[in-house]
Structure 1
């Protein structure tokens, strides 16, 4: 049970650190829940391509400047290659 707790805390830490979720201004309706789900999806997608020596924050910085890699990760282009950031 303790391991499961720290696994969840690890995800919360990644989301809070990279997206600064605690200072989010979305507070009404289903907005906060939907944005959190999108963030968790993005983190899960990044983790599926993550190398052992690479952090999620490093991957996010790289993807900010190389948007083609985002489309390659999602395989949204006709000639998408296996993304290797």
Structure 2
């Protein structure tokens, strides 16, 4: 998807689905770009290596608070230099603890995710890396808002193991397919698909 574009010097952010060794090599070696990739528990080995880094020794913390789309979120960011993470070109890692509160129900949740980047501490200070991470959260929050309004994601009963992440990926895939077909109103696009549920979704995917 990114092959046609000149990404020289650009920092590409992506969610956990794209935290792949091949993607990292492609960006740095082929496109001369940088990466900042989220890592969640679906990458068990990498997640565990990040989890065991000496985060308690990191005294500097960066706080970011946002409110919108029916929820309030606070993020606490810590940054470490890494040199033996066994991931292509990784130079720094960040731990992000996200505290969320649903403004409607008052329900609270806490999630820890990690971010890895090839940017060195000279190229990206902890403050700059925190800003890069925030830009990814803004995109993610907007997508979550669409997933919740169109698919009632927050009301989903799927809450065990990797189920929530897998369902979020499927919902995001459906949204992206609809947008690629020029459906700017996702709810209207879903309704249109539902009129012929056995044929229109297949046609959308080019499988008819």
Q: TM-score, normalised by structure 2?
A: 0.33
CA distance in 2, matches of 1:12, 1:27: 16
Q: Which runs of 5+ in 1 are unaligned?
A: 78-85
Q: CA deviation at 1:47?
A: 0.9
Q: CA deviation at 1:12?
A: 1.2
Contact 1:63 1:69 in 2 (8 A): yes
User: Which of 20, 31, 34 in structure 1 is aligned with 2:163?
Assistant: 31
User: Which of 183, 193, 204 in structure 2 is aligned with 1:63?
Assistant: 193
Cα RMSD for the two superposed structures: 1.9
Q: Give 1 or 2 for the bigger CA radius of gyration.
A: 2
Change (3 A) 1:56 1:28: same
Q: TM-score, normalised by structure 1?
A: 0.74
Q: Which runs of 5+ in 2 are unaligned?
A: 1-130
CA distance in 1, matches of 2:159, 2:145: 20
Q: CA deviation at 1:3?
A: 6.4
Q: Say whether residues 1:46 and 2:178 are aligned partners.
A: yes
CA distance in 2, matches of 1:37, 1:5: 16
More helix by share: 1
Counterpart of 1:20 in structure 2 is 152
Q: CA deviation at 1:6?
A: 4.0
Q: Greater relative contact order (Cα 8 A, min sep 6): structure 1 or 2?
A: 1
